[in-house]
Amino acid sequence: MRRVCEVWPCDASPQRIADFGAQGVVLSGSHQSAYLAETEKAPEVVFTLGVPVLGICYGMQTMAQQLGGAVEAGITREFGHAQIRAHGHSRLLADLQDRTNEQGHGLLDVWMSHGDKVVTLPSGFQIMASTPACPIAGMADEARVMRTVSPRGNAHQARHRYFAPFRARDLWLQGRLVDARFY
């Protein structure tokens, strides 16, 4: 069976989402702040489908906020190149590093673009990445296969790792989205 990646708005009906039969859900970026009451949210059904969920940037923040964590405006904003420290509490970043620091912790080169940050983890989540300005730059609940990252990963390393829970490949090639192949 072959499917392509589909982009849906956040106001897609819960029934349409449930009926689609996705093998995974990616919650992506937005210019909004997840902690504001009037902000658009991810459909709650995506958290109950029993499939892997990956939150990237704003997707991480709305997942945290909606699942009982907390998001706030950051004092220090991060835009551009940054290094995150991988904490190893998730298969998503296990054994993935560009270099190590003086303490031997794995570091990844990433692209950050955020002002808000997760300040409290939802129940069941562990920190899997951090920066000095963003102590929770990635979080994971491995039991529910819900993982999040604040930065955009280094494409050559992260593309397969980010999407591995979906049993997908060939999702990202030199900055252009291509068909996903699901198995």
Q: Which residue has the tokens 């991060």?
A: 78
Q: What is the span of the domain harbouring residue 134?
A: 14-182
| Residue 73 neighbours by CB under 8 Å, 6+ apart | 33, 35, 115, 116
Q: Model confidence over 32-64: pLDDT tens digits?
A: 777 778 888 888 999 999 988 888 888 888 899
Cα separation, 92 vs 86, whole angstroms: 10
Number of domains in the chain: 1
In a domain, 100, yes or no: yes
In a domain, 164, yes or no: yes
Ramachandran sector of residue 127 (left: φ over 0; alpha: ψ -120 to 50; beta: rest): beta
Strand partners of residue 168 = 182
In a domain, 6, yes or no: no
What does the pLDDT read at residue 73? 84
In a domain, 154, yes or no: yes
| Residue 176 neighbours by CB under 8 Å, 6+ apart | none
- Domain with 22 in it: what CATH number? 3.40.50.880
What does the pLDDT read at residue 124? 95
In a domain, 116, yes or no: yes
In a domain, 152, yes or no: yes
What does the pLDDT read at residue 179? 40
Cα separation, 118 vs 98, whole angstroms: 24
In a domain, 41, yes or no: yes
Q: Which residues of the chain have pLDDT under 70?
A: 1-4, 77-78, 88-89, 114, 151-183
What does the pLDDT read at residue 4? 60
CB distance 97 to 86 below 8 Å: yes
What does the pLDDT read at residue 2? 52
